[in-house]
Amino acid sequence: MSELSTLARPYAEAVFKRALESNSAAEWSEMLAFLSVVIQDQEMSVTIANPKVSQQQLTELLLDICQDQLKEEGVNLVKLLVQNDRIILTPQISELYESYKAEHEGYVDVDVMSAYALSKEEQKKFASKLEKKLDKKVHITTSVDKSLIGGFLAKAGDTVIDGSIKGQLQQLAKKL
Amino acid sequence: MQLNPSEISDLIKKKIENFDVNVEAHTEGTVVSVTDGIVRVHGLSEAMQGEMLEFPGNSYGMALNLERDSVGVVMLGAYQHISEGDTVKCTGKILEVPVGEALLGRVVDGLGNAIDGKGAIEATETSPVEKIAPGVIARQSVDQPVQLGLKSIDSMIPVGRGQRELIIGDRQTGKTAIAIDAIINQKGTGVKCIYVAIGQKRSSIANVVRKLEEHDALAHTIIVVASASESAALQFIAPYTGCSMGEFFRDKGEDALIIYDDLTKQAWAYRQMSLLLRRPPGREAYPGDVFYIHSRLLERASRINAAEVEKLTDGKVKGKTGSLTALPIIETQGGDVSAFVPTNVISITDGQIFLESDLFNSGIRPAVNAGLSVSRVGGAAQTKIIKKLGGGIRLDLAQYRELAAFAQFASDLDESTRKQIERGQRVTELMKQDQYSPMSVAEMGVSLHAANAGFLDDLEVSKVRDFEAALQSYMKSEEADLMQKINDTGDYSDEIKKGIQAAIETFIKTSSW
């Protein structure tokens, strides 16, 4: 996984710079997300790994699947990736691209897990608190995880803010 | 199951009451691969070099390689339960171990956990394993001796408090024996000892512990064990652990002696870790910084001045200097001191005690090669009596070595050469000493005086040791006051000189051996 992100980095950087130049960051975001889904499909990954499928065939197949989803530059990226035998990196490229985009636009994606579903108002409150704490704009995605017992667990990239009962119990267990 | 003292319900209740609930923010990563004790972790963007990382199942690792997209972690202890996808937490702490008086008399592993079955260690303080050695301003020169209790070493290769003296030799030449004698001889001197066993068999460690117990020397000793069956990371870390425990005593104005047995194995463990972490191999496949792991460890053995001790103890201890003396051990292969690790450690230390298997096999034990062994700073620290008498011994042996080779060819030698050879043979005989029987300064002084004053010259070589034994027991019973005085002052005044001379003369007249 770590090696894959190292390989994907130059592609992601190039795509991101191109997107800024052509003012099409959102478009690229969609294209990459769509491509990742396609590449991660089980049958697709078997096809990619199959040595009998030539690069030509693979390119045609991918372009056929994507059809209108890809703009001209997207098509070029697919051709380039297939040619370099790096099409498998697409999910990592997409991930890195998103992180560059987030950094550029000054926001962070935060996954918030809570034991009970949060209401809209609570989510807003939460977002404003997190914005203060992380000093950045926050895009929140919420999910429910009963195993937390109570409280919440927020993940922003590597950083984890653990305010759950489960985490506190673990702390207590360590102290005893 | 035994109930731990900290498991009384009132105590637990209090702990729960006072438990401070805080929302913790930490950095997490995911395990990518686990291979031979090396774990690669994705994420952990804020991990520090050498930081402790927490793995599931209450196990810990140490971050060693910080790369762009991953962190190379060495597991401390078992890693079989770690699998791909596990989360890893940063702790924000460098590895720390317990230190303090509570550790004396105990056997602990490389992380400071008790392994002697005498219950948990109630240490109040902890200390990071990796620390920077004291600076130039904090230091004081070496001028007090550490008596190892071995005639051949204390007279010719003296070790001072705060010195680093290497013990080097092939396998089975008595390296550990010297170290154990040194520990036994510190009984009652206030010098605390730390014995770090790296990559040894558990059975030999058990033996050492038993011997120390038998000689009543365990009470002032800490034994740190990273046996051959433990992970390379623990074998690598154990010397630093022991050093931190020794520094605790140094920093509060006491004296400590630490023995690393042996650093060759530590270098092997580090080589294993480095190769698995894919660091580029260099000479003998050691990584580039194998010199640094030993130099930074041995640099921490030092003598610090009273001002530094006062600063470190917040003014509680005044006017006392502290010291940590190190006796690293290196095992050579076939007497080759020019291999990579031996040359490194020779150049770092303040001298070496060189042991030879030829000498050992011909019955000269301790098998010290007096020609190749040196002490670069210990001379300033020797007690007066040993210094005066030891000079003659060194000279006698040096001349003897020069002549002995050449005397094998010549049948008739002139009078003075023959005398020198005979003196040399007797002094060599006198330098032999049994294991586990270290000598006091006075005992050594008497033996050395007997050799210097020529009392041994009329004896048969085979009788020298019997003579010495009888003389020692005579001095012990008849001249206890004189011996006490020498031990107290360490002087070699005319009065003492005459006293010893007269005592030996009476002994020769009245006793048999």
DSSP-assigned letters across all residues of A44-81: HHHHHH-TTS-HHHHHHHHHHHHGGGS-HHHHHHHHHH
E strand intervals along chain A: 107-114, 137-144, 151-156, 159-164
Q: Name the residue among A6, A158, A175 with its Cβ closest to that of B45.
A: A158
Whether residue B12 is predicted with pLDDT greater than 80 in this model: the reply is: no
- Tell me: the pLDDT tens digits for A24-41? 888 999 999 999 999 999
Identify the CA nearest to A156 among candidates B440, B46, B139: B46
Q: Tokens for B410?
A: 């010549």
Whether residue B469 is predicted with pLDDT greater than 90 in this model: the reply is: yes
ipTM over 0.85: no
Cβ contact B70–A2 (<8 Å): yes
Whether residue A1 is predicted with pLDDT greater than 60 in this model: the reply is: no
Residue range B401-408: average pLDDT?
79
Asked if the peptide bond before residue B262 counts as cis, ω within 30 degrees of 0, the response is: yes
Residue range B1-21: average pLDDT?
68
Provide the pLDDT confidence category of residue B7 given band limits of 50, 70 and 90: low
Residues of A in contact with B27 (CB under 8 A): 158-160
CB neighbours of residue A128 within 10 Å: 11
Taking CA B358 as the corner, what is the angle to CA B354 and CA B360, rounded to the nearest 5 degrees?
Answer: 75
Cβ contact A6–B42 (<8 Å): no
Q: Tokens for A165?
A: 């009962």
Strands B255-261 and B145-146, how do they pair? Answer: unpaired
Mean pLDDT, chain A, rounded, equals: 87
- Tell me: the pLDDT tens digits for B411-423? 677 888 888 888 9
User: B55 φ, ψ to 5°?
Assistant: -105, 165
Measured between CA atoms, the residue of chain A closest to residue B46 is A158
Say what the pLDDT of residue B2 is: 57
Say what the pLDDT of residue B277 is: 93
Q: Which residue numbers of B have CB closer than 8 Å to A's CBs? A: 12, 15-16, 19, 21, 23-30, 32, 40, 42-46, 67-70, 89
Say what the pLDDT of residue B3 is: 60
**DSSP class per residue in B81-128:** T--TT-EEEEEEEE-EEEESGGGTT-EEETTS-B-SSS------EEEE
Whether residue A2 is predicted with pLDDT greater than 80 in this model: the reply is: no
Whether residue A141 is predicted with pLDDT greater than 90 in this model: the reply is: no
| CA separation for the pair B444, B430 (Å, rounded) | 10
Report how many Cβ contacts below 8 Å link chain A to chain B.
Answer: 54
- The residue type at B313: T
| CA separation for the pair B431, B70 (Å, rounded) | 58
Residue range B381-390: average pLDDT?
93
SS3 A39: helix
Provide the pLDDT confidence category of residue B426 given band limits of 50, 70 and 90: very high
B6-30 burial: b if 16+ Cβ within 10 Å, else e: eeeeeeeeeeeeeeeeeeeebbbbb
Lowest-pLDDT range of A171-175, B98-102, B149-153, B276-280? A171-175
**Run of H or E residues at B306:** helix B306-312
- Tell me: the pLDDT tens digits for A33-81? 999 999 999 999 899 889 999 999 999 998 888 888 888 888 899 999 9
Q: Tokens for B282?
A: 């260099």
B389-418 burial: b if 16+ Cβ within 10 Å, else e: bbbbbeebbeebeebeeebeeeeeeeeeee
Whether residue B440 is predicted with pLDDT greater than 90 in this model: the reply is: yes
Say what the pLDDT of residue B83 is: 94
- Residue A148 per-residue DSSP state: G
Say what the pLDDT of residue B315 is: 93
Lowest-pLDDT range of B319-323, B407-411, B491-495, B507-511? B407-411
Measured between CA atoms, the residue of chain B closest to residue A154 is B25
Q: Name the residue among B21, B29, B40 with its Cβ closest to that of A158.
A: B29
Query: Is B376 annotated as catalytic?
Result: yes
- Could you tell me which residue, B11 or B491, shows the higher pLDDT? B491
Residues of B in contact with A160 (CB under 8 A): 25-28, 89
Whether residue B368 is predicted with pLDDT greater than 80 in this model: the reply is: yes
| CA separation for the pair B162, B155 (Å, rounded) | 18
**A120 exposure class (CB count in 10 Å sphere: 0-12, 13-18, 19+):** exposed
| CA separation for the pair B414, B188 (Å, rounded) | 49
Say what the pLDDT of residue B411 is: 67
Say what the pLDDT of residue B410 is: 63
Q: Tokens for B209?
A: 């512990």
Whether the CB-CB separation of B449 and B501 falls below 8 Å is answered with yes
Q: Percentage of chain B with pLDDT > 90?
A: 82
Cβ contact B42–A5 (<8 Å): yes
Residues of B in contact with A163 (CB under 8 A): 23
Q: Name the residue among A158, A163, A171 with its Cβ closest to that of B46.
A: A158
- Tell me: the pLDDT tens digits for B208-247? 999 999 999 999 999 999 999 999 999 999 999 999 999 9
Q: Tokens for A150?
A: 């109570």
Measured between CA atoms, the residue of chain B closest to residue A133 is B25
Provide the pLDDT confidence category of residue B387 given band limits of 50, 70 and 90: very high
Residue range B49-64: average pLDDT?
92
> Which residues is B126 bridged to in the sheet?
B98
Provide the pLDDT confidence category of residue B8 given band limits of 50, 70 and 90: confident
| CA separation for the pair B141, B331 (Å, rounded) | 29
Cβ contact A1–B30 (<8 Å): yes
CB neighbours of residue B121 within 10 Å: 15
Whether the CB-CB separation of B331 and B137 falls below 8 Å is answered with no
Say what the pLDDT of residue B4 is: 63
Measured between CA atoms, the residue of chain B closest to residue A6 is B69
- Could you tell me which residue, B1 or A48, shows the higher pLDDT? A48
- Could you tell me which residue, B512 or B107, shows the higher pLDDT? B107
Q: Name the residue among A3, A158, A171 with its Cβ closest to that of B28.
A: A158
Strands B192-198 and B322-331, how do they pair? Answer: unpaired
Mean pLDDT, chain B, rounded, equals: 92
Taking CA A102 as the corner, what is the angle to CA A100 and CA A108, rounded to the nearest 5 degrees?
Answer: 130
Say what the pLDDT of residue B82 is: 94
Whether residue B6 is predicted with pLDDT greater than 80 in this model: the reply is: no
